[in-house]
Structure 1
Amino acid sequence: MRSPPASRGRRPACLGRSPRARRAGALRATQGNKSQAAARLGLSRHGLLNKMDRHGLK
């Protein structure tokens, strides 16, 4: 089996960001819509709310 092609030093923007920054970015991108932000992050809405509480996000 072959490995995927190298990304030539580039990586997705989300990989270099902290979990708090990724969650805040998802909330900004969805204009504060927690259900949509959770979907973007691969979390349930309840899971996102728990993590927001843990990281002090509103």
Structure 2
Amino acid sequence: METLTAHWTDYELLDSGNGKKLERFGEIVLIRPEAQARWKPALAAHPWETAHAEFQKASRGQ
């Protein structure tokens, strides 16, 4: 997988799958929803479990 972010030197897409993406912004690692990531993640569970935060949508879509 190639991520084209030439102007974002502090951004990295680490992994994706199961409706989520694991991203690094500087030293912060976040899990955010990604509806199109319908495959299994490539990385083991550890990087996902050690993320700094996970974005969760409100149950009413807010």
TM-score (normalised: structure 1): 0.28
Answer 1 or 2: which has greater helix percent: 1
Bigger Rg, structure 1 or 2: 1
The structure where strand makes up a greater share of residues is 2
Give TM-score scaled by structure 2 length: 0.28
